[in-house]
Amino acid sequence: MKWLARLIAPGSISDEQAMEDGRADGNSAAFALLVSRWEMPIRRLCMRMTGDAHRAEDLAQETFARVFARRSSFENGRKFSTWVWRIAINLCLEEGRRRRLAEKFQLQIAAAPTADQSGRDSTPHQQASEGERAGMVQQALAALPETQRAVVVLREFQGLKFREIAQVLEIPEGTAKSRMADALVELGRMLAPLRDECDEPAARAAESDTQRIVI
């Protein structure tokens, strides 16, 4: 009945509490709550790491399968978010090694305009230019080594702090910052032709796009 009382106000249940309930008695409702909270963030992470929306969906499902299978190993005091990010990242890295396509991944970034940034006032030429710039940025990200890409994705798209990234990837915080710095240099090198070829307004927009990703 403890879970029923919590279910009335699911927002008050922490991920760790839900994991504890699911681990204690195999509570399917507790596990369903975790899936509902984390399915889309994990799917987006997998898509940005693999560049394949369909494979990302499979990897997200495998992530939660592993969470459920390993629920008994979840330790008290551990942060659930760190644990689930790590499982998903490891699955993506395993997938990359299996398929030997790390250098060819076409990273699909959820860069569609939001309702207040829909571009409905822009011209077709402007939209085409923006799409071309976004494509070049995507290709540059996809060309990064997996270790650097993982840091960029966790930092810029999932909003994790370097301390949290270090916990997820099980590396020193300094290493996470170093990989981010190396990724910044490499992205700047790969996107240099874009800055050279754009006219001044487009160049400013391209630079803004790059800074949004890597800063």
Cβ proximity of 152 and 169 under 8 Å: no
Contact call for residues 205 and 122 (beta carbons, < 8 A): no
Helix (H/G/I), strand (E/B), else coil: 13: coil
Q: How far apart are CA 127 and CA 57, in angstroms?
A: 29
In angstroms, the Cα distances linking 195 to 9, 198, 202, 207 are 51, 6, 8, 7
Q: Compute the distance between CA of residue 46 and CA of residue 61 in angstroms, rounded to an integer.
A: 11
Query: Amino acid identity of 51?
Result: G
Span 47-73, pLDDT tens digits = 888 888 899 999 999 999 999 888 888
pLDDT at 105: 41
The residue that leads in pLDDT, 132 or 187, is 187
For the chain, what percent of residues have pLDDT higher than 90?
35
Distance CA 153, CA 2 (A): 37
Per-residue confidence at 78, pLDDT binned at 50, 70, 90?
confident
Question: Average pLDDT, stretch 148-162?
Answer: 91
Q: Determine the residue type at 83.
A: W
> Could you read off the pLDDT of 105-142 as tens digits, one per residue?
444 444 444 444 444 455 555 555 566 666 777 788 88
- Looking at residue 186, its amino acid is E
- Per-residue tokens: 23: 């681990």
| Identity of the highest mean pLDDT range in 90-94, 126-130, 137-141, 172-176 | 172-176
Task: Give me the pLDDT at residue 72, please.
Answer: 85
Q: What are phi and psi of 202, to 5 degrees?
A: -70, -35
Greater pLDDT, 35 or 77: 35
This model's pTM is above 0.75: no
Could you tell me the CA-to-CA distances from 76 to 4, 15, 95 in Å, in that order?
22, 12, 30
Q: What is the mean pLDDT of the chain?
A: 76
The DSSP secondary-structure symbol of 116 reads G
Whether residue 10 has pLDDT greater than 60: no
pLDDT of residue 24: 67
